[in-house]
Amino acid sequence: MESHRLGSLDSSPPTSPLTVQKQDLEGKFALVTGATKGIGRAICIELATRGASILGTYSSPESAHLFDALTRSLNTLYASSYPATSSTQDAPVPSAPKFVGIAADISKPSPSASLILDALRRHFDGHIDIVVFNAAVMGLAEMGDGTVTEEFLDAALAGNIKFPSLLMEGLVSGSMVRRDGRVVAISSEGVRAKRPAGGSIYSATKAALECLMRKWADELGTHVGMEGTTFNSVSVGFTKTEAYRRIPDEIRERLTAADAAEVAVGNRIGEVVDIADVVGLLVSEQARWISGSVVDASGGKANIM
């Protein structure tokens, strides 16, 4: 069918130049896990260009240079957008947010959660306003082929359930989350859709994470000191991340055409900025009345009601 041919796909949204946005998040502290690539990097850009200071994590020290490069780009952006000579007593100009990157492997939940909590105390006065659980342990293993091992299960459960639970426990018990906070978890359309093949364990851990977010919304939205805090999940469909580009060309083109044909708002798949914009909405003041929800970010494929 014509709609399944790669050549018939809609164009991606035009890439906008990096700009400083309205500073509605100025003075807020944000934690973004998996901050150096793909969706996590796009989320960092969305929040930082709105004034939020960022504590970004990555899985190993080898990725530190990626966060450093992002930091330099954003500092340069602020410096060029607001030269020091343009500041006046009546109209001070925004300064660049603070950026701190740390290696914290979520597959090792206990030390990584402690590393993040310590970094918040050292660099952000022990406070946080926005938490984005973006990093995930993802692996495909089809039942019956011998790959669903105890080690495979332990890794998925550790990174996708144990880590966020331990971190949230530390944030709440340490009174770190400030009033009107925002907690967002990146989930997957695999919770509801047939794909990906071999994704049953990964999808199950994402379903559990969505459940945690709903229950935390119930339990913590009025918790003393963090009143008004919201908890939401974002269900992400097939998106052009680094992992997407590593798929062999022929398979990638076939999957792209098939997924694009199911998108309700156009014949294309998602870009990382599509996801970052949804997260940006959920962390805004305008989203104060949305909590305990799963928000579709698959272009309408998931049909979440």
Beta carbons of 129 and 181 less than 8 angstroms apart: yes
Look up tokens 């309700």; give the residue: 264
Q: 159 is written with which tokens?
A: 């990174």
Q: How far apart are CA 233 and CA 95, in angstroms?
A: 31
The answer to whether 54 and 97 have CB atoms below 8 angstroms apart is yes
* Structure confidence at residue 7 (pLDDT): 55
Contact 46, 302 (CB under 8 A): no
Residue 90: predicted pLDDT: 58
β-sheet bridge partners, residue 231: 183
Quote the pLDDT of residue 1. Answer: 37
Domains present along the chain, CATH in parentheses: 22-83+96-296 (3.40.50.720)
Residue 25: its pLDDT value, please? 98
pLDDT at 5: 41
Task: State the pLDDT at residue 201.
Answer: 95
pLDDT at 88: 55
Give me the tens of pLDDT residue by residue for the chain, a chain 305 residues long: 344 444 578 888 877 789 999 999 999 999 999 999 999 999 999 999 999 999 999 999 999 999 999 999 999 999 999 876 555 555 567 789 999 999 999 999 999 999 999 999 999 999 999 999 999 999 999 999 999 999 999 999 999 999 999 999 999 999 999 999 999 999 999 999 887 789 999 999 999 999 999 999 999 999 999 999 999 999 999 999 988 898 899 989 998 999 999 999 999 999 999 999 999 999 999 999 999 999 999 999 888 87
Q: What is the pTM of this model?
A: 0.93
List beta partners, residue 270: 239
Q: How far apart are CA 197 and CA 242, in angstroms?
A: 19
pLDDT at position 288 is: 98
